[in-house]
Amino acid sequence: MKILYCGGCNPHIEREALAAELEADERLRDSDVAVYISGCRRSCRTGHRLVLDTPGTLVVAGEHLDGTPVPATELAERIRRRLVLKKGVR
Amino acid sequence: MALKTPEEFVRSIADLKLEIYLFGEKVDDYVNHPLIRPSINCIAMTYELARKPEYEELMLATSHLTGAKVNRFTHIHQSVDDLVKKVKMQRLLGQKTGSCFQRCVGMDAINALYSVTYECDQAKGTDYHEKFKKYVQYLQENDLVADGAMTDPKGDRGLPPHQQPDPDVYVRIVERRDDGIVVRGAKAHQTGACNSHEIIVMPTVAMREGDEDYAVSFSVPANAPGVFYIYGRQSCDTRKVEENVLDVGNAQYGGQEALMVFDDVFVPWDRVYMAGEIEFSGALVERFAGFHRQSYGGCKSGVGDVLIGAAALAADMNGVAKASHIKDKLIEMNHLNETLYACGVACSAEGSRMPAGNYQIDMLLANVCKQNVTRFPYEIARLAEDLAGGIMVTMPSAQDLFGEKTGPWVEKLMVGQCDTPTVDRMRIMRLIENMTIGAGAVGYRTESLHGAGSPQAQRIMIARQSNMEHKKRLAKDIAGVGQAVEPLEDKVLKPTAVKK
């Protein structure tokens, strides 16, 4: 699993804390996924796209996961479910 | 990747053994001087953030000269994306320091010189551009801080440089040799000069015939023989030398300005980028000013974020956060602050590629950006003072908070909303004071007014670029000016009856 950040100028979520939570989960370590974490809906890390067509990617943009609104407190769990259950990861 | 650590940066500045004067005395250990250290901490932050993966998207760029990742403050903008990221990076630094963080001037200088040296070479057959590229590569590979020195003291503003009674009020060439030039004069208001490894000098106005020796641009190490600095005072600066720095408000970070003197300084030719080409002096001034006016959309909105946060906290601590007028004032502060940022992004998004290959901001929108910056921080500051209340400027000192007799009284009488410790309420009040009328106000208010050119300078640029003839044609076309009077039916659809 690879984590890629935006520059952090307008963080609506705790980007580093979310990354740390994902990286601490051993079940996710071998996932062949790139998780793009932008701090707000501008989604700068992915060229202002809330979802990518590239296989093996997940886009967090503020309180959104692949374009779907998700409260900040639920982001890590939703990502875990996608990666562990391999659902919803293109 | 040769990125320095913050500690390496501080050591490298100390090792320069700069000649700095403050309150009439030469300062030997300037990196640890309480008045100077906060400004050094600001630039150290540009090094600290560049080494963190969660900020590298903004803080680092890929050099077009070497292909290596470099600190964006040493980068020549290669795309609109670079221009936008520059503004975002500056907002981030403003948020992290709550202060003018000084490193942007050098970045704006190298980006202006990059295109001007190229065009000068094309027009006049000079050899400045290749030399300048090597210099930029040197800055990048060594991760250095450059001060962009433009503003001369200027003396009598009604006279051109070569007619000044005292010629030293402008930097000029006093001797041309086979191996280089000798310069004399001074640069005023030099933000971050005493925190820089290198000084890049540019002319301050478009030079005309007779001012050839003043159309000079060059770089020197900050400790070049003949260069010395006279440190500028700031509002409430000596609070930084008090025993308890709580009263400073922002004790960790601060701005810095110096009067920089060039007392017969030798510059070898490989560091000279303009020497008499008056036709290009105006372009250099304009492009540097344009980039620097763009910068303010980022840095001041970042500092504004801190002030707005402090004002909101003051309202919370005062127990008035729910009042509708308080909420509305915070909305207004955010509206003004985001407008500054919007202007910074807009002039970046409308940027274009220069013949040299680098990207330049849109000049009209950059000047609009800065014109707004000359006004909105004043209103944001006024609203912050409104929310803080008068206690901001009448509070007892930190010594009294911790005094044997006075402490218990200050503790119980300066309390606001009861869950907030008194010391924290006082900290927030002092931060607002710092940013609105204290040392931080130098960077947030007066620098917003005069930095990158005083308000009239932007109005002149806005007037030049507003395309008034086009706007007049639009109005004439809509109003039908100059057209024959025709029956209305020929121009306007007949209104049809409304179906019931």
Domain ranges of chain A: 2-85
What class has domain B6-279? mainly beta
Whole-number Å distance between alpha carbons of B258 and B235: 15
Per residue in B213-240, pLDDT (tens digit) is 999 999 999 999 999 999 999 999 999 9
CA atoms of B38 and B100, how far apart (whole Å): 11
Question: What's the CATH architecture for B284-465?
Answer: Up-down Bundle (1.20)
Residue A76 CB neighbours (<10 A)? 20
A7: contact with B, CB 8 A cutoff: yes
Closest by CA to B113, choosing from B371, B369, B291, B334, is: B291
Short-list B129, B59, B134, B137, CA closest to B354: B129
Sole residue written with tokens 């202006």: B112
Please report the beta strands in B5-157, taking only residues with DSSP state E, as ranges in sequence order.
20-22, 25-27, 60-62, 69-71, 146-149
Whether pLDDT at B431 is above 50: yes
Q: What is the pLDDT of residues B245-292, one digit of tens each?
A: 999 999 999 999 999 999 999 999 999 999 999 999 999 999 999 999
ipTM over 0.90: no
What are B431's two structure tokens?
């931060």
Longest Cα separation, chain B: 92
CA gyration radius for chain A? 12
Contact: A45, B56; criterion CB under 8 Å: no
Pick the range with the lowest mean pLDDT from A74-88, B229-243, B301-315, B382-396.
A74-88
Size of interface A-B (CB pairs under 8 A): 35
Q: Which two structure tokens, joined as six digits, stand for B26?
A: 């030469």
Confirm or reject contact between A48 and chain B (CB < 8 A): no
Two structure tokens written together for B227: 């260069």
Distance CA B361, CA B366 (A): 7
CB B325 within 8 A of CB B310: no
Q: Are B201 and B171 in contact (CB under 8 A)?
A: yes
Grouping H, G, I as helix, E, B as strand and the rest as coil, residue B199 is strand
User: B247 — phi, psi (to 5°)?
Assistant: -70, -10
Q: Using alpha carbons, select from B92, B82, B45, B43 the residue that is nearest to residue B61.
A: B82
Distances (CA, A) of B314 to B109, B225, B387, B439: 39, 49, 7, 20
Which residue spans within B232-322 are E strands per DSSP? 257-268, 272-275
B344 touches chain A (CB under 8 A): no
pTM: 0.91
Q: With bands split at pLDDT 50, 70 and 90, how would you rate the model's confidence at B321?
A: very high
Beta pairing class for B180-191 and B257-268: antiparallel
Contacts of A7 in chain B (CB under 8 A): 55-59, 85, 88-89, 92
Q: Are B218 and B271 within 8 A, CB to CB?
A: yes
Q: Where in chain B is the domain with CATH 2.40.110.10?
A: 6-279
pLDDT at position B2: 78
Q: End-to-end CA distance of chain B, in Å? A: 75
Report how far residue B16's alpha carbon sits from residue B478's, in angstroms, rounded to the nearest whole number.
Answer: 65
Q: Chain A contacts of B88, Cβ < 8 Å?
A: 7, 9, 44
| Structure-token pair, residue B98 | 């709550």
User: What's the Cα-to-Cα distance from B175 to each of B187, B264, B266, B325, rounded to whole Å?
Assistant: 19, 9, 9, 64
Candidates A6, A10, A19; nearest CB to B57: A6
Q: What is the mean pLDDT of chain A?
A: 88
pLDDT tens-place string over residues B166-215: 999 999 999 999 999 999 999 999 999 999 999 999 999 999 999 999 99
Closest chain B residue by Cα to residue A11: B92
Average pLDDT, chain B: 95
Contact residues on chain A for B303, CB-CB shorter than 8 A: none
Q: Is A6 on the interface with B (CB under 8 A)?
A: yes
Burial bucket for residue B25 (CB in 10 Å: 0-12, 13-18, 19+): exposed
Touching check for A39 and chain B: CB below 8 Å?
no
For chain B, say whether A80 makes contact (Cβ under 8 Å).
no
B208 CB neighbour count, 10 Å cutoff? 15
Nearest CA in chain A to B53: A5
pLDDT (average), residues B157-168: 95
Q: Among A5, A16, A19, whose Cβ lies nearest the Cβ of B57?
A: A5
List, for residues B467-500, the tens digit of each pLDDT value: 899 999 999 999 999 988 776 665 555 556 665 5
CB spacing of B54 vs A8 below 8 angstroms: yes
